[in-house]
Amino acid sequence: MDRSRVARVFLGASLVLIAFNLRPLFSSASALLPELKSELHLSAFGAGVLTTLPVVCLGLFSPLAPRLARRIGAERTMLGVLLLLALGTALRGLAPLPALFLGTALAGASIAVANVLLPGLVKRDFPRRSALMTGLYTMALCGGAASAAGLTLPIERLLGGSIRGALAAWALPAAVVALIWLPQLGHGSQRPAGGGAHIKGLWRDRLAWNVTLFMGFQSALAYSVFGWLVPILRERGLDPVLAGSVVSMSVMVQAMSCLAVPHIAVRGKDQRLINVALCAIAVVALIGLLFAPLSTVWLWAVLQGVGQGGLIAAAMTVIVLRSGDSQVAAQLSSMAQCVGYLLAASGPLVVGLIRGQTGGFGWCALLFVVLGAVAGFNGWRAGRAVHVGAADA
């Protein structure tokens, strides 16, 4: 294997490892949410804010990514956000309650920028392998979420019941991948990744809005799962560790679905049917997890993993496929994640409000149906085989 090929493999592996670190923030807090509410005296509203805050940050800070990439380069920007992600995650281990929210916000802002940079880097460095790379890094996103869902409670028990320590432990892999990314700094000066030009017309393009709304409403479903599925299953009577294991398994199925869906999606003439089908599967499975007998929980968890993981990959794939080049891909990614994640924040927040107002999660079924229907409509529109109407300014 020649040196340039080794470098490309190393770059691809680095991107996958970065993606792994972009979701433990969400599912680690979810796994410990009942303990956090008890130990820190969080209200239902406070718990809802904790699960929603990082999603809001994804929307608020994603527009910074193209600007930072233009100013200092995509590679340096990625290193900076990895270091800030490690710092923010570590802050959640400090005793004062404000540190929990401050660290969550800092880590969420870092993830927002990294989320936007990844599609542009894939489009730039792997133009002929975009489906494979999109599948790999979205699979890694799910792998990180699954690991945090399944391992946070065992880590807490290993640390003698330290909730803070279990949350802060996820700073370590982020710090390690920052070191792994360091060699890329020597390659970034002549390689713009979507930050080198201003794009005009994107915010007035209907297809770009369909992509954005598809991203937003499927993400609202996803972050409701990351933030609340463990508490839902625990309230239904599952043992805490078993509930975490069910969610972890579901998210691991998401990882496999993430890897498969981009290859299926790019082989069809468009992606309309697969986008709608995945929305239906994800919603039906969530309703099953809410109401079906607990003896069938593993079946519904698998189906939910197929649907939700496929939706994550499909949303990322349409960003790449609807873009004419890496410049447009980065800008469309920024738009989709800015507006999309602000919409996505409604999911976990409303779930928390429903739990606080009704004393249970049953009415969340209606919320999931509405979110899935809107995601399906925009997924159908975003799946058409055309490019967004944007141009360099």
Enter the DSSP assignment of 188: -
Pairing status of strand 199-200 against strand 391-392: antiparallel
- The candidate with the shortest Cα–Cα distance to 232, out of 10, 2, 31, is 31
**pLDDT at 243 > cutoff 50:** yes
CA-to-CA dists, residue 341 to 61, 216, 303, 304, angstroms = 10, 5, 24, 20
Q: What is the pLDDT of residues 66-120, one digit of tens each?
A: 888 888 888 999 999 999 999 999 998 876 778 889 999 999 999 989 988 887 7
Instruction: Tell me how crowded residue 373 is: count the other CB atoms within 10 A of its CB.
Output: 15
Nearest CA-CA partner of 224 in 43, 361, 382, 379: 361
Between these two residues, 196 and 285, which has the higher pLDDT value?
Answer: 285
DSSP string, 19-39: HHTTSHHHHHHHHTHHHHHHH
Q: Structural domain boundaries of the chain?
A: 3-392
Ramachandran quadrant class, 73 (left: phi over 0; alpha: psi -120 to 50; beta: rest): left
Dmax (CA) of the chain: 62
Answer whether 100's CB lies under 8 Å from 286's CB: no
Binned at pLDDT 50, 70 and 90, residue 198 comes out as: low
| CATH superfamily entry for domain 3-392 | MFS general substrate transporter like domains (1.20.1250.20)
**pLDDT reading at 316 higher than 90:** no
pLDDT at residue 284 greater than cutoff 90: yes
Is residue 360 scored above 50 in pLDDT?
yes
The amino acid present at 111, given as its one-letter code, is I
> How many whole angstroms separate alpha carbon 262 and alpha carbon 135?
6
pLDDT tier at 190 (50, 70, 90 boundaries)? very low
Asked if residue 258 lies in contact with residue 313, where contact means CB atoms within 8 angstroms, the answer is: yes
Given a cut of 70, is residue 193 above it in pLDDT? Answer: no
Give residue-wise pLDDT tens across range 331-352: 887 788 788 888 888 888 899 8
Residue 303 scores a pLDDT above 90: yes
Q: What is the DSSP string of 62-104?
A: TTHHHHHHHHH-HHHHHHHHHHHHHHHHHHTTSSSHHHHHHHH
Task: Render pLDDT for 124-137 as a digit per residue (tens, 0 to 9).
Answer: 888 777 777 877 88
Q: Is the pLDDT of residue 45 over 80?
A: no
Confidence of residue 188 (pLDDT cuts 50, 70, 90): low
Please name the residues in contact with 384: beta carbons below 8 A apart, sequence gap of 6 or more: 207, 270, 272
Contact 38, 204 (CB under 8 A): no
The values of phi and psi at residue 169, to 5°, are -60, -25
pLDDT of 199: 62
* Residue 172: predicted pLDDT: 95
Going by pLDDT thresholds of 50, 70 and 90, the confidence category of residue 3 is low
Q: What is the reported pLDDT for 281?
A: 96
9-32, pLDDT tens digit by residue? 888 889 999 999 998 988 888 788
CA 123 to chain centroid, in Å, comes to 19
The per-residue pLDDT for 149 is: 80
pLDDT of 151 > 70? The answer is yes
* pLDDT for res 95: 66
The answer to whether 388 and 208 are in contact (CB under 8 A) is yes
Within 8 A by CB and 6+ apart from 315, the residues are: 211, 214, 215, 218, 219, 336
Instruction: Choose from 50-64, 152-166, 292-306, 317-331 the range with maximum mean pLDDT.
Output: 292-306
Among 29, 19, 36, smallest CA distance to 54 is for 29
